[in-house]
Amino acid sequence: MTTFTLKELDRATVEHHLIDLHPEPEDLAAAAVDGLSDTPRTLPSKYFYDAAGSALFERICALPSYYLTCTEQAILDGHASEMAAKLGPGRLLIEPGVGDGRKTRKLLAAMHDPAGYVPIDISRDALIGAAERTSRQFPDLPITPVCADYSRPLEIDWPDGPGGRVVFFPGSTLGNLHPDAARALLGRFRQIAGDDGMLLIGVDRVKTPRVLIDAYDDPEGVTAAFNYNLLQRLNREADADFDLDHWAHEAHWNAKQSRMESHLVALRDQKVWVAGKRFAFNAGESIRTECSYKYTDEALLALAEGFAPAGVWRDARGYFSVFCLEAA
């Protein structure tokens, strides 16, 4: 692996040092046809995040009812030094999936002599942006961006810091996966971390349904717009003809599955074209667009095979946990 620091920083340099595993391009139209042909009908939530969807999600994260982002950030702000002490010096920080980087930079600032930073993302632009922002704050930190789909096994000769590796997975992203897929992903994180590695992961906890529903169906209607944007994206990119006036956003708590669900519900009988295929919907029929699993501590630890608990930090309300797990 090659690295760069701020002394060399420009976009061309970042791209030169970027490791590109050439992830398969996403096929929105095929995924939509597959999901709408299923019973029950679904659409993959990863397609929320085009430019418009990403902007809407930033607005969601700033809503008072959407506690997840601010709560996890507050945990990191209040306990980053404790987390860094638990990780120990000389760790290489590996982050599958990049966001705005605020949480990452908070952790890096607290870590003792971090050996480097390896962001991983399927989007080259997001990856380059994350590398540039991090380099500006940490000009001497070696950075190796990896363009890859972290949901698949990665064939990389991972470097080692003198203190080993730590995988950082904030944002309750694990909750977007079915538990079987979550277990498989945690298994891949165990391989990446190595036998002396660690995992620092954010997890949204089971709580009162009213709190959850308010978070996923805000009175301002931003989450509804986020959901509708998925139909607009299909209209733009998959030759679909959804009429948004004929659909309603709904969110509900599925206690049996321990997950929040977002749906688009047909307000009338209708037929819709998507990528050359016609779909008939009855009034009241729904398309499930997102599942967000919520975990008890016991349920999370049961999924994290190959790891043992080393520490946990929570907010005062007990809404959210940041776990430190060590390879076992």
Task: Give the model confidence (pLDDT) of 216-261 as tens digits.
Answer: 999 999 999 999 999 999 999 999 999 999 999 999 999 999 999 9
- 9 has a pLDDT exceeding 70: no
Contacts of 216 (CB under 8 A, 6+ apart): 223, 251, 260, 262, 292
Which of 96-100, 212-216, 256-260 has the weakest average pLDDT? 96-100
Domains of the chain, each with CATH number or no CATH: 6-23+70-206+298-327 (3.40.50.150), 28-63+208-293 (no CATH)
Share of the chain above pLDDT 70, in %: 95
Residue 32 pLDDT > 70? yes
pLDDT at 165: 98
User: What mean pLDDT comes out for the span 65-86?
Assistant: 98
Residue 273 tokens, joined: 């074209």
Opening angle at CA 208, ends 76 and 39, nearest 5? 100
pLDDT band at 6 (very low <50, low <70, confident <90, very high): very low
**Which residues, in sequence order, are CB contacts of 18 under 8 Å at separation 6+?**
124, 127, 128, 131, 145, 146, 147
* pTM metric for this prediction: 0.93
- Of all residues in the chain, the percent with pLDDT exceeding 90 is 86
Tell whether the model's pLDDT for residue 111 goes beyond 90. yes
- CB hemisphere CA count around 62 (13 angstroms): 8
